[in-house]
Structure 1
Amino acid sequence: MELGISFEKILLIGLVAVLLVGPERLPRYAETFAKLVRRAGEFMRDTKSRVREEMGPEIDEVDWRKLDPRQYDPRRIIRDALFEDDPAPAQPAQSTALAEPAVVPVRTSMTRHEFTRETPPPFDDEAT
């Protein structure tokens, strides 16, 4: 995993640390920082192994890029959800062959209703 930290940046951070902390306290701070980095690495390895144990072998088959929320456009998701056709309801089972089949209206597309001052949208006083 590329973090985008170059050698020059690390050298600059080290130089600033030497100036701010001072040469007499720098070894102690460097040791503490190294312990922190080591513990963070162990934590990450433990977390990875626990996730692998719980998910099993299918974790290698997951396409993680497909699950990245940054790839989705919220406008497209909402538009698709609002204008997708509703599935037709299941028809009840017929008890006899002579019974007439039930006619179920199927909505094929969303219609948009324009509201005006004369025909305002519905309002429920008890809901608010």
Structure 2
Amino acid sequence: MFGIDAEKLFVLLIIGALVLGPDKLPEYAAKFGRLVRELRRMASGAQEQLREELGPEFDDIDWKRLDPRQYDPRRIIREALLDGPAQPPQTPSTKTRGETAAPFDSEAT
């Protein structure tokens, strides 16, 4: 949560309890509880609204397939330029006189 580990969160809670004091602590704890419940309600409402707008296909979406971290830009460009899945380059078995083949680097951009 916000890059804070458990020990730091515990220290912040202790400092908050000391600053607020025993008389205001229950009031602020109740406010925090209402805030968390309201955020959960809003999140579930947004999810329900999204389901209604997208229809029944929403449940069938493979979200892991749509994860942008899995994309390799080089592969996408290569497939777009070749109009299909990338295949390894094929070298000609015979060369005519005077022809030279440039080396192919599959990792080059």
TM-score, normalised on structure 1? Answer: 0.50
**After alignment, is 36-45 or 17-26 more displaced?**
17-26
Offset, 1:10: 5.7
**After alignment, is 10-19 or 53-62 more displaced?**
10-19
Offset, 1:20: 3.2
Partners in 2 of 1:23 and 1:80 — Cα distance? 65
Partners in 1 of 2:24 and 2:74 — Cα distance? 54
Structure 2 gap ranges (5+): 85-109
Report which of the two structures shows the higher radius of gyration computed on alpha carbons: 1
Partners in 1 of 2:19 and 2:51 — Cα distance? 42
Structure 1 gap ranges (5+): 87-128
* 2:82 counterpart letter in structure 1: E
Partners in 1 of 2:78 and 2:22 — Cα distance? 61
In structure 1, the partner of 2:97 is none
1:58 aligns with 2:57: yes
Higher relative contact order structure (alpha carbons within 8 Å, sequence separation ≥ 6): 1
In structure 2, the partner of 1:22 is 21
CA deviations over 1:39-72 (Å, ceiling 9, x no partner): 1011011111111112222111110111111111
Query: Does the residue aligned with 1:25 lie in a helix, a strand or coil?
Result: helix
Offset, 1:11: 4.2
Partners in 1 of 2:19 and 2:74 — Cα distance? 49
1:77 aligns with 2:76: yes
